[in-house]
Amino acid sequence: MVTTTYQVQGMTCGHCVNSVSAEVGAIEGVTGVEVDLATGRATVTSQSPLDTDSVRAAVDEAGYDLVGAGRVTDETEVPR
């Protein structure tokens, strides 16, 4: 599993958080999304590293802006 943190700009309410969570959560391989409105951070857990362009497109579809690239904060090998 890989955990990556992204910075999202333009969110102002709970609906914003839900929109970003839903769009990013729909990306293939994503297993979890936590969005913190106060910091603008979206922490995404996925089966493998995500393509930043895919995350940017999902955030854009939700109506917000992805700032920079994501930062991998944890990468754990999953036993098979």
DSSP 3-state of 20:
helix
> What's the rounded mean pLDDT across residues 1-5?
94
Going through the chain in order, the beta strands assigned E by DSSP cover 2-9, 30-36, 41-46, 65-75
> What's the rounded mean pLDDT across residues 8-19?
97
Report whether pLDDT(80) > 70: no
Note the pTM of the prediction, 2 decimals: 0.89
Of residues 53, 43, 56, the one with CA closest to residue 3: 43
- Average the pLDDT over each of 5-9, 16-20, 50-54, 68-72 and give the range with the smallest value: 68-72
Percentage of the chain exceeding pLDDT 70: 95
Q: Is the dihedral of CA 48, 27, 18, 64 positive or negative?
A: positive
Reported as a single tens digit per residue, the pLDDT across 24-56 is 999 999 999 999 999 999 999 999 999 999 999
- Using CA atoms, how far residue 32 sits from 22, 48, 51, in Å, is 10, 12, 16
